[in-house]
Structure 1
């Protein structure tokens, strides 16, 4: 995965074989991604790279992340359950997503047109971050083995990546780690799982 932000906009995230090729989704949607980057920067967010993607933070909290896919490009909000969305423009990324959390685009001009709404979402999210408010835990959130809880408490990078996973992917790791009753085996499974979790993958993802 990339570690330098400019590489994302020039070559992609580095998580697949299409990295730095003409077939890379980040290259396909480059104009739209640059628009989202500009809007996030203008909002006063701090830009960094996490999980191979441009991630925007404020007050020590993740606010939003940019992503490019085969069929669209997106701006996804962390703690989206806190956001007001009277027009219903936010979408769920998939069936395992607890709350609508992303804006999905197939045209760079559409991202430009939605700039006022994007700025409003970002401003609200930044306010929640400053106030220390977090989205309520989803009812479907899995019970975690105590070894996994300890690992997340002691490894902030792992914790951020784990909590950014969909509930389904979180549950897959809870079951994988908790499938053994031996603490040493559980800890070994956590160590083996770490790079996959940082890459945004579930226990069954390749």
Structure 2
């Protein structure tokens, strides 16, 4: 067990102002998170703290994360789209998600009832890593750049170069983030706030 995860469970992820307070989402699901942690560790994965949440790896490859949301706790697989999911119980974290798939839980009993199945999915995810399988992400030219981003990249060559040098996943993350608001001004504001990170070669979720 990684002591950093003990801190996460006790204090929260610290990614927002609620971290370290009773209002942190982590405190909504203490039993569920601890149970999921136990299950994943029982499958032999290495426990690390990444992006402020418990991340479980196989030979340094990210396999799954355990995390808390407002309405549920979850076990999410980085390459869940490659799992067979014969039971059809994995869900996408968002409609634009290409790789990740997750279990959602709102009480311990739900976890207890399918513990063996959860482990089977984890072992399958490990086999995916052993086999070196990759998710076939849609290519850049299939991504719809919002007009505000096109204009900014056209007027800022250095930014355009930095953006195009990002990995496909990082570009996609930014494009989704920039495209979500309905108002053009909000989309532009989001782009402006991310320029520094893009110039540093970082993704939207990178610190």
TM-score band by shorter chain is 0.7 to 0.9
Alpha-carbon distance, 1:138 to partner: 3.3
Q: Within 1, Cα distance between the matches of 2:64 and 2:123?
A: 11
Q: Give me the CA root mean square deviation.
A: 3.5
TM-aligned CA distance change 1:151 to 1:13, over 3 Å: same
TM-aligned CA distance change 1:56 to 1:95, over 3 Å: same
* Worse-superposed segment, 72-81 or 19-28: 19-28
5 Å matches for 1:110-189?
Answer: 110-138=110-138, 142=143, 146-148=161-163, 150=165, 152=167, 162=170, 165=173, 168-169=176-177, 188=196
Q: Within 2, Cα distance between the matches of 1:132 and 1:59?
A: 12
Alpha-carbon distance, 1:28 to partner: 1.4
Q: Which residue of 2 aligns with 1:75?
A: 75
Instruction: Say if 2:197 and 2:204, in contact at 8 Å, map to a contact too.
Output: no
Q: Which residue of 1 aligns with 2:28?
A: 28
Task: Please report the TM-score for the alignment, with normalisation by the length of structure 2.
Answer: 0.73
Alpha-carbon distance, 1:31 to partner: 0.3
- The count of residues paired between Structure 1 and Structure 2 equals 181
* Worse-superposed segment, 7-16 or 100-109: 100-109
5 Å matches for 1:11-90?
Answer: 11-90=11-90
TM-aligned CA distance change 1:136 to 1:150, over 3 Å: same
1:197 to 178, 185, 205: 205
Q: Within 2, Cα distance between the matches of 1:166 and 1:91?
A: 22
Task: Please report the TM-score for the alignment, with normalisation by the length of structure 1.
Answer: 0.73
Unaligned segments of structure 1, at least 5 residues: 153-158, 180-185, 200-206
> Which is greater in Rg?
2
TM-aligned CA distance change 1:93 to 1:187, over 3 Å: closer
Q: Within 1, Cα distance between the matches of 2:35 and 2:120?
A: 16
Instruction: Say if 1:58 and 1:129, in contact at 8 Å, map to a contact too.
Output: yes
Instruction: Say if 1:142 and 1:171, in contact at 8 Å, map to a contact too.
Output: no
Instruction: Say if 2:166 and 2:201, in contact at 8 Å, map to a contact too.
Output: no
Alpha-carbon distance, 1:146 to partner: 5.0
Q: Secondary structure at the match of 2:18?
A: coil
Q: Within 1, Cα distance between the matches of 2:89 and 2:174?
A: 20
